[in-house]
Amino acid sequence: MLTIDKTNLERHHPPRTFSDRVAYRAVGMLRFVASGLFGRRYRHRTIVLETIAAVPGMVAATLLHLKCLRRMIDDRGWIRTLLNEAETQRAHLMVFVAIDRPSLLERLSVLLAQGFFYNAHFLIYLFSPRTAHRIAGYFAEDAVRGYGQYLEEIHEGRQENPPAPALAIAYWNLQPDARLADVIRAMQEDEAIHRDINHSFADALESGRDLPGPPRI
């Protein structure tokens, strides 16, 4: 069984193989584009990026489900794990939508970004599941860092820290007086979980090992 340390926000998987380097650079390119488009507008940036971040878990779960059906094998709990990842990313999105409604331009950006990324990630997973999971792992690493920067901006007074939406309080079981900073800390832990799950999945595929059992968090 795979054990996840969601409190370790510094963990990084150094790119070792060609596949790793492709994944790392792909995520770096997405980061560069997002930084250029949104800068320090963290709420708007998060709305767009979370619609993309919800894609890898859904793609992986769908294709793993079909693989298990074809081979008539058990998935060892991974389909549910990957679907939960996609659902959690959707929860992240809905928090920021509740705080700041996206503009028409941002909705158009979401439409284009999600359409491109879903099809690209689907094709990557068909040809190299290891690379696809590594992309998801690096994407989660980047999210951990990005949410850390957002927290610094809040603590230093450069970003607002409004009350947490009711849906966030219910989803993460937060205190009734929780603020946005409390929600972001919970999101960081979620992203650390996704980071470890996807890197572990990629490592197992790289070594030819059977996948570990469902993670214990």
Residue 159 predicted with pLDDT over 60 = yes
| Separation CA 205–CA 202 (nearest Å) | 5
What mean pLDDT comes out for the span 143-166?
A: 92
Q: Note whether 196 and 4 are within 8 A (CB).
A: yes
Residue 21 lies in a domain: no
Residue 144 predicted with pLDDT over 80 = yes
The count of domains in the chain is 1
Total-model pTM: 0.89
What mean pLDDT comes out for the span 12-30?
A: 91
Residue 134 lies in a domain: yes
Residue 154 predicted with pLDDT over 60 = yes
Give the structural domain span for 58: 35-207
Residue 6 lies in a domain: no
Position 39 scores a pLDDT of 66
Hey, what amino acid is at 157?
G
* Model pLDDT for residues 56-96, shown as the tens digit of each residue: 999 999 999 999 999 898 888 889 999 999 999 999 999 98
Residue 54 lies in a domain: yes
Residue 23 lies in a domain: no
Rg (CA), the chain: 17
Residue 11 lies in a domain: no
Within 8 A by CB and 6+ apart from 185, the residues are 147, 151
Assigned token pair, 153: 């901006």
Residue 214 lies in a domain: no
Within 8 A by CB and 6+ apart from 132, the residues are 56, 59, 60, 121, 124, 125
Residue-wise DSSP of the chain: --B--TT---------SHHHHHHHHHHHHHHHHHHHHHTT-HHHHHHHHHHHHHHHHHHHHHHHHHHHHHHT---TTHHHHHHHHHHHHHHHHHHHHHHSPPPHHHHHHHHHHHHHHHHHHHHHHHH-HHHHHHHHHHHHHHHHHHHHHHHHHHHTTSS--PBPPHHHHHHHT--TT-BHHHHHHHHHHHHHHHHHHHHHHHHHHHHTPPPPPSPB-
Give residue for tokens 């990084």: 12
Dmax (CA) of the chain: 55
Instruction: Burial-class residue 49 by CB neighbours within 10 Å (0-12, 13-18, 19+).
Output: buried
CATH assignment of the domain containing 125? 1.20.1260.140
> Of 19-23, 96-100, 144-148, where does mean pLDDT reach its minimum?
96-100
Residue 146 lies in a domain: yes
Within 8 A by CB and 6+ apart from 64, the residues are 75, 78, 79, 82
